[in-house]
Amino acid sequence: MESRGSVPAHPLAYEGVWRFTAPTVEVSVPQSRQAVRDLLRRQCVPMGDDLLQGILLIVSELVTNAVKHAAVLSPEVVVEVTVVARGVRVCVEDDHPYRPQALETDWRQTGGRGLHLVREITREAGGSYAVEHTARGGKVVWVELPLTRC
């Protein structure tokens, strides 16, 4: 049963909000990626492999940034995944006030391009991306990607 347009009257089985914390250490990067992959698979979120891989790369890049740049002031990073019928939102929050910006970098270097990747994946998927301050003085970086059926 539907109400007002195409908004379901009841949430779909795969919809929900999941949140977990991890220490701001390097091992949290692959662990966060695995946790998000397992969550999306367990919930049977209808997405193609390209979207899944994009989300996992975004999680890796955002958690890596928190580990590299926020650990001094933020002993933990928070990862939140929200799935609704129309899309997936991934948020990575830490307690450091610095708002990351994509740096113009020498493409021959092996690092420094994480936010460029996040922006490009988001743009290609037709999504949105932002960095916001939190009430505690830290920041949350979020990406919303439209959910397309595979």
Q: Band of the pLDDT at 11, cuts 50, 70, 90?
A: confident
Structure tokens belonging to residue 97:
């006030």
11 inside domain: no
Q: Which of 112, 19, 113, 118 is nearest to 59 (CA)?
A: 118
Structure tokens belonging to residue 45:
């979120």
Give the number of domains in the chain: 1
65 inside domain: yes
Q: Tens of pLDDT along 28-69?
A: 999 999 999 999 999 999 999 999 999 999 999 999 999 999
Q: Tens of pLDDT along 88-117?
A: 999 999 999 987 765 555 555 555 567 888
3 inside domain: no
pLDDT for the residue numbered 3: 41
83 inside domain: yes
4 inside domain: no
CATH number of the domain residue 50 falls in = 3.30.565.10
6 inside domain: no
8 inside domain: no
pLDDT for the residue numbered 107: 53
Structure tokens belonging to residue 148:
């397309």
Q: Please determine, for residue 126, whether its predicted confidence score (pLDDT) is greater than 60.
A: yes
Q: Which domain holds residue 78?
A: 16-146
| pTM for this model (two decimals) | 0.86
104 inside domain: yes
47: which residues sit within 8 A by CB, 6+ positions away? 40, 55, 88, 147, 148, 150
Tokens 């908004």, residue located: 7
pLDDT for the residue numbered 104: 57
Residue with more model confidence, 141 or 7: 141
CB 94 within 8 A of CB 132: no
